[in-house]
Amino acid sequence: MDLLLAEELLLLAYRPKGSPLVELESLDYLLSAAVLAELAVRGRLELRDGRLQVIDPAPVGDDELDRPLGRLTATEPAPEFGDYWNSMYTPDRRARLLRRLADRGAITTSGAAF
């Protein structure tokens, strides 16, 4: 099972019984950074002079990556990292990723609502 960096980070952020090891708002920001890191690792963007520059706008085939890649592609001029990273904050990303992990059998939910 191939996991996104954000999914791996999410797995590391929780105790085996499901309680978080870190403050959840901070985790949500870290997940945004992990999405950007994943796009960089996959050769879709890079940091140039403090700005996030799309170098390959082709969709990755994963909604969690394609949405922010599309937003970055449509943003002119290339946004500064700090400005864009903060704008990516979304508390529902964590819930979506947890659902994905549960759907793939990486975690069990015991009826938990994300």
Quick: pLDDT tens for 50-103. 999 999 999 999 999 999 999 999 988 888 888 887 788 887 999 999 999 999
Long-range contacts of 102-111 (CB under 8 A, 24+ apart): 104/1, 105/1, 106/1, 106/3, 106/7, 106/11, 107/11, 110/18
Among candidate residues 92, 41, 24, 84, the one with its CA nearest the CA of residue 64: 92
pLDDT-based confidence at 112, cuts 50/70/90? low
Q: Which residue has the tokens 């996959």?
A: 42
The answer to whether 64 touches 8, Cβ cutoff 8 Å, is: no
* Region at 52 (left for phi over 0; alpha for psi -120 to 50; beta for the rest): beta
